[in-house]
Amino acid sequence: MTLVRLRRAAQITLPQEIRDAVRLKEGDYLEAAVTESGAIMLQPVKIAQREPTPAQEADILNVVNTERRAYAAERRR
């Protein structure tokens, strides 16, 4: 296990061997979570792969449609 130090502004530096092992490069995103045991888990993610669930997509479309209707009603006045 590698020792990592928490720096100013809560920043950490992942050691090169860890970055190489998971092929991380500058600008990549990591998703952070705390496990039930209290461990911190970091997982590389691709932002393009983070598509909304069908429920989230329905919520987004409902908000968009509501705003469109409100805008159209305002323009008709």
User: What's the pLDDT at 49?
Assistant: 57
Number of structural domains found in the chain:
2
Instruction: Verify that 59 and 39 share a domain, yes or no.
Output: no
Three-state secondary structure along the chain?
A: CCCCCCCHHHCCCCCHHHHHHCCCCCCCEEEEEECCCCCEEEEEECHHHCCCCHHHHHHHHHHHHHHHHHHHHHHHC
Instruction: Verify that 2 and 15 share a domain, yes or no.
Output: yes
- The domain that holds 10 is classified in CATH as 2.10.260.10
Instruction: Verify that 31 and 1 share a domain, yes or no.
Output: yes
pTM given for the model:
0.53
Domain with 60, as residue range(s), is 49-77
Q: Using one digit for the tens of pLDDT, what is the confidence trace for 29-55?
A: 999 999 999 999 999 988 765 678 899
Instruction: Verify that 24 and 58 share a domain, yes or no.
Output: no
Q: What is the mean pLDDT of the chain?
A: 91
Instruction: Verify that 35 and 65 share a domain, yes or no.
Output: no
